A and B are shown apart, each in its own frame.
Chain A
């Protein structure tokens, strides 16, 4: 038993992995569930708003303005305030206001607002001539959205998704401060409240590595899905070799 440590609350170095790794797992679960919801809602919502705009497939000014406003409100609230303000709603849905389930609700709302804007932006950068081509080729509105809009925007959507995932890792840390678990919870309870610098450093290292991995994976996927990028052909071949 060591008596040299000035603070008996400090976690021994050997125990840090046992503390941090399950926390990382919780963070990944929170972000994973959130991002699934975000993509499932954000893509149709972004595509809908894009096509309600002027020149879109279902041009409708009133609907466009309304939906745009709702998304803007979601985008403009700082996450901490959003999270606190919707606690009654969160409790209604999940029956609790702490834990992973409770964190997923505000994270999904913030994430959907974020991603919807990204989808809109990505779709706006697809040349509108593709929609004319698709129409002239006999496509239905849904087929046109899928093939002439979303499919052409895939690299840009993946780039946006990468930024979105990183933002959600950050939000999960904020949610951690109110007891949602995960890396953020460990950083606050051990690193901040108990002045355990070793744990603090460990959480920082883990977050930096996680974010870097997400970014690298995202960048690689963007290259792979862009036929006119120099490395795309190579990465596709490598992937094909890896799967087979």
Chain B
């Protein structure tokens, strides 16, 4: 379990002081994957370095399993860091060491005997599915395999917290999926608290239990992933699962954005809505999936001119939120997502 208490980081002094992180407060429980997402320059890497104490927070604290790590001396920090495993972006493996030698690094620093190191390294490589590649050098491994080695190395000292800064950035979708699956498996098997930092919304959907959005050093929104996706007023929820590019509605139709807000939306809600309103429903865009065991989704539909209040009411009975789009606002969700990426 790890918690941040009013964590603030300022670089520089006096006139040139820049507050990169301001009053961050959140905690990651054992067995939880907490994602921090935000655009480039938001302060994500700074947050990562404050958490594994490569940078000292200016104020506030980092507490791991009840121990406040921000007050420790340099030598005490070295010991404390063992409770936090860090997975770095793709450039983290030493080029002149094999996969096994890279995994052995933290054990070697700690002074573990060669026999014990060998045993533990074999176990870790097996854990991440790379036993057959133990004697490969980093340049002989794929991006996904290199990250697996990085994860094995981060786990070498049996940390209770795993910190990952852009560990899947730059990987192809398939490797990303295999890394996120591995992280979930490790979370379940080892009860790790995982702080997963990324700029990719897609990856957050795959991996997170909870998510916080970091923007210019502030946490602007946070919550359980499923709750955010079900909350029609959540900007982060919308950014995570943008409404797809919809077809134009037909002549004499209005476009409506529908969002799943309850746990019990019937699978045949399109038919049910059509019957309730006694009009045909055109499906213009839809995305429905199961995330962390819960169904979430959104859709854009076209309806002939119906009574607005009645439509919203009928949708609500099905566990949906309906919002009518004025003409020309069909792709509003998309536009929001684009401005997101430009930021």
Listed in ascending order, the chain A residues whose CB lies under 8 Å from chain B are 127, 129-130, 132-140, 143, 147-148, 151-152, 154-155, 225-228
> Contacting B52 at CB < 8 Å: which of A136, A148, A152, A155?
A136
Residue of A with least CB distance to B90: A129
**Sampled A-B contacts (16; CB under 8 Å):** A127-B91, A130-B94, A132-B49, A133-B88, A134-B105, A135-B81, A136-B52, A138-B79, A138-B81, A138-B106, A138-B157, A151-B96, A151-B97, A155-B96, A227-B96, A228-B137
Kindly state the separation between the CA atoms of A69 and B97 in the bound complex, as whole angstroms.
Answer: 35
Q: Of the candidates B54, B94, B138, which one forms a contact with A148 in the assembled complex, judged by CB atoms under 8 Å apart?
A: B94
The secondary-structure label for the interface of chain A is helix
Binding site for A on B (CB under 8 A): 49, 52, 54, 78-79, 81-82, 84, 86, 88-89, 91-92, 94-97, 105-106, 108-110, 137-139, 153, 156-157
Q: Which of A134, A136, A147 has the most CB of B within 10 A?
A: A136
Least Cβ–Cβ distance between B151 and chain A, in angstroms: 13
Complex CA–CA separation, A137 to B109 (angstroms):
8
* Chain A nearest Cβ from B104, distance in angstroms: 10
Q: Cβ of A130: which chain B residues have Cβ within 8 Å of it?
A: 94
Q: Determine the distance from Cα of A139 to Cα of B109 in the docked complex, in whole angstroms.
A: 5
Contact assessment for A140 and B78 in the assembled complex, using a CB-CB cutoff below 8 Å? yes
Query: In the complex, what's the smallest C-beta–C-beta distance from A145 to chain B, in angstroms?
Result: 12
In the assembled complex, the Cα of A139 lies from the Cα of B77 at a distance in Å of 11
Q: Are A133 and B92 in contact (CB under 8 A)?
A: yes
Which of A129, A155, A225 has the most C-beta atoms of chain B within 10 angstroms of its own C-beta? A129
A132-B54, A136-B52 as given contacts; A228 in contact with B95, CB under 8 Å: yes
A170 to chain B, nearest CB (A): 31
CA distance A130 to B102 in the complex (A): 11
Contact yes or no, B94 A152, CB < 8 A = yes
Give the chain A neighbours of B157 by CB distance below 8 A: 138
Measured between beta carbons, the chain B residues less than 8 angstroms from A140 are: 78, 109
List of A residues within 8 angstroms of B156 by Cβ: 137
Task: Give the residue among A133, A138, A148 with the most B Cβ atoms within 10 A.
Answer: A138
- Alpha-carbon separation in the docked complex, A143 to B107 (Å): 12
Q: Are B52 and A227 in contact (CB under 8 A)?
A: no
Q: Which residues of B contact A225 (CB under 8 A)?
A: 96
Alpha-carbon gap, A79 to B96, bound state (A): 36
Q: Are the C-beta atoms of A136 and B86 separated by less than 8 Å?
A: yes
Contacts of A152 in B (CB 8 A): 94-96
Q: How far is the CB of A39 from chain B (nearest CB, A)?
A: 19
Contacts of B89 in A (CB 8 A): 129
Q: Is there an interface contact between B109 and A227, defined as CB atoms closer than 8 Å?
A: no
Chain A residues whose CB sits within 8 angstroms of the CB of B82 once the complex forms: 138
A-B pairs, top 4 by smallest CB distance, nearest first, are A227-B137, A137-B106, A136-B86, A228-B139
* Chain A residues, CB < 8 A from B52: 136
Q: How far is the CB of B64 from chain A (nearest CB, A)?
A: 14
B110 near A138 (CB under 8 angstroms)?
yes
Closest to B88 in A: A133
B137 A147 Cβ-Cβ under 8 A? no
